[in-house]
Amino acid sequence: MIDATIKTPLKRGHDLLRDPLLNKGTAFTEQERDSLGLRGLLPPKVLTQDDQAKRAMQQLHAKPNPLEKYIYLTSLQNRNETLFYRIVMEHLEETMPLIYTPTVGQACQEYDHIFRRPRGLFISAEDRGQIADILANWPEDDVRVIVVTDGERILGLGDLGANGMGIPVGKLALYTACAGIHPAQCLPIMFDVGTENQSLLDDPLYIGLRQKRLRGTAYDELFAEFVQAVQERYPNALIQLEDFGNAQAFRLLKHYRDQICTFDDDIQGTASVALAGLYSALRITGQSLIDQRILFLGAGEAGIGMGDLIVAAMVDAGMTEADAQARCWFVDSKGLVVKSRTDLVAHKRPYAHDHAFLPDLLSAIETLRPTALIGAAGQAQAFTREVVEAMTHINQRPIIFALSNPTSKSECTAEEAYQWSAGKAIFASGSPFPAVDYGGQHFTPGQANNVYIFPGVGLGVIVSGARRVTDEMFFVAAQTLATLVSEDDVAQGRIYPQLANIRQVSAHIAAAVAKVAYARGLATQPLGNPDHLFAKIQAQMFVPEYADYA
């Protein structure tokens, strides 16, 4: 259950002003200033939150570039979280690219150099045997969502070590802004086991461990200690795995998914948002899912995760699993994934088909003639003019998803996709692109952002008290998201709902996920009247309004 209230603070004076969850700044009333020992610690003028919001936006707009805006918003979050979320929620289309992708990518690359104030918990390889004590240092007793990373595969940028902490912080900000989970119930964690990034190890300002990454049994034992400590301190917490390397991500998810309440957003969340995009795209093409032949560039966490969920959706539509897998093809860094290859890791083998090897993406397109092309390899400009033109030659309306983040890693831009396809492409990207005018048409490119999925899934898990997170939950999340795309959206080529409606989207997805938890016997919270579930969820969502401490 979500507790969206802030109780009367026990803190006073400077301690109160330094607590971002409780601080109201110049909005403390005259009575509050007297009763809480704030008289003289603030300018005499009492301002409303509206006044503060106007000033904050003025300050934000004065910053010269996205990174400086990220730093400003982070500083605001660290001193007044209520005002921070008011700004983010009212200006989501402007602020989300700043607090998350694409700007968070640059912020993580420079995290040690822009570091001001720690946020969340840092657990390192040197803390073996003490992780429970570290979790006990966190001041909140009712954490419901933990986002943890080891920083090995941050977006498409690779190993950023402890600098990857910007990802859990950003993800949890979206949990609050987009799904109304109270910020006091969110905990970002950096699981620092070292880095293979030599430039970080050589940087005297690097904030993480100066050692190569912990591997093997030592890593597993440390992570097991972390999981056990979380179960003891926060038994009701969902653990979201984020931006682990491929080997660790698949292994950890497989090991823990049936033991604790956990999921991997890169594998399952990305898959869900991509499947929702396919459902919407098929409303434009007039085709069915089982008629698709899908070619993926990239066979890592995101690519294989998408393949697995699309296969599940095809099976749900009436296909056998073998036939559904035969509809999904992968090109990795070596070429087409086929049976004759001897270098395939376990998660690729179900998609290794009996076919002649093809060395590159273009030859795979020309030979396999896919209806949809999905990029998730972090290879900038991999969808060349020749690639897009080949897809357009094969399909009347080619489905082209360039999902790699941040923007610098996108396989192609929206403008390139529309121009090279003569306006025929149904396009989506991982990072946002502006609208495109081409051939007398106005195109609004879809952003296949996981923010459409993971906050709602997390909210549904919390509301139901689900003991596990299942693939079925991500399947129904994708179905729900697709139904929320309006006919007007589709007419503009938009295959995802407008971002301004994200809290309603999250509430709908939460209701669908909670219903799965109740139907499968995974829920621990009472259901009540199922017809009132959606309204119940909306009523519990955090609203960034100041509490009255008088």
Name the catalytic one among 70, 100, 111, 279.
Answer: 100
Other CB atoms within 10 Å distance of the CB of residue 471: 17
Domains recognised in the chain with CATH numbers: 101-260 (3.40.50.10380), 268-449 (3.40.50.720), 452-486+501-540 (no CATH)
Catalytic residue flag (residue 339):
no
Q: Please give the pLDDT value at position 3.
A: 54
Q: Which two tokens stand for residue 261?
A: 């309440």
Per DSSP, 550 falls in state: -
Question: Tens-digit pLDDT profile for the chain (550 aa)?
Answer: 455 444 556 799 999 999 999 999 999 999 999 999 999 999 999 999 999 999 999 999 999 999 999 999 999 999 999 999 999 999 999 999 999 999 999 999 999 999 999 999 999 999 999 999 999 999 999 999 999 999 999 998 999 999 999 999 999 999 999 999 999 999 999 999 999 999 999 999 999 999 999 999 999 999 999 999 999 999 999 999 999 999 899 999 999 999 999 999 999 999 999 999 999 999 999 999 999 999 999 999 999 999 999 999 999 999 999 999 999 999 999 999 999 999 999 999 999 999 999 999 999 999 999 999 999 999 999 999 999 999 999 999 999 999 999 999 999 999 999 999 999 999 999 989 999 999 999 999 989 999 999 999 999 999 999 999 999 999 999 999 999 999 988 888 789 999 999 999 999 999 999 999 999 999 999 998 889 999 999 999 999 999 999 7
Catalytic residue flag (residue 171):
yes
DSSP calls for 53-102: HHHHHHHHHHSSSHHHHHHHHHHHHHH-HHHHHHHHHHTHHHHHHHHSTT
Q: How far lies 71's CA from each of 77, 267, 431, 432, in Å?
A: 10, 29, 20, 20
Task: Please name which of 125, 123, 141 lies closest in space to residue 133, comparing C-alpha atoms.
Answer: 123
**Contact predicate 396/426, CB 8 Å:** no
User: How many CA atoms within 13 Å lie on the side-chain side of 137?
Assistant: 11
Name the catalytic one among 69, 171, 409, 515.
Answer: 171
Task: Please name which of 389, 79, 96 lies closest in space to residue 87, comparing C-alpha atoms.
Answer: 96
